[in-house]
Amino acid sequence: MIIGIILIIVLTGLDQATKYIAQYFLKEPLIEKTIIPKVLQFSYYENTGASWGMLEGKQTLFLIITLIALIIFGYLFTKLSFKNKKLYSISVILLLAGTLGNALDRMILNYVIDFLHLPFLTPVLGLVGISNFYFNLADLFLNLGIVLLIIDMLFLYPKRERIEKRAKTIKERSKINE
């Protein structure tokens, strides 16, 4: 559990540090820095909405959602086990770090600093009505955490359950034979 707490602090700190760097180097004058043409750009953006700019300006709603998410992820955190549930543990740590990273921005700044842009996704996302989107490391942690948690729930959790059930059956049989 202590490793989980340390990782959450480090990842949240990394998110906050990159946002501070983006604010310092990209905000004024507004600079767009292409790192890999048509793939990765850095550009400062103050997001008062959720992912992809949805629900812009609904800060009270975000506070409520954040508190609920932190309670749920906090509960999931109590089930961490790097020995038996590595992917699950990593996903919960990413979810907590991502939630905390963006929550800190909302509490301190009243918006979230986004600075990463993937231009090659613009045409694809445009098909579903999402224009240029910007994100940050906390968003990346959240999305990766969700994907890993889904993989764990679909593939690894059932396997763990079968193994535990087999072990329980073997234990019960050995008690009967005694």
Strands (E), 18-111: 32-36, 40-47
CA–CA dist 63, 58 (Å, integer):
9
90 CA to centre of own chain: 10
152 is a catalytic site residue? no
Alpha carbon of 152 to those of 11, 41, 145, 149, 166: distances in Å? 21, 32, 10, 5, 20
114 is a catalytic site residue? yes
Catalytic residues: 114, 139
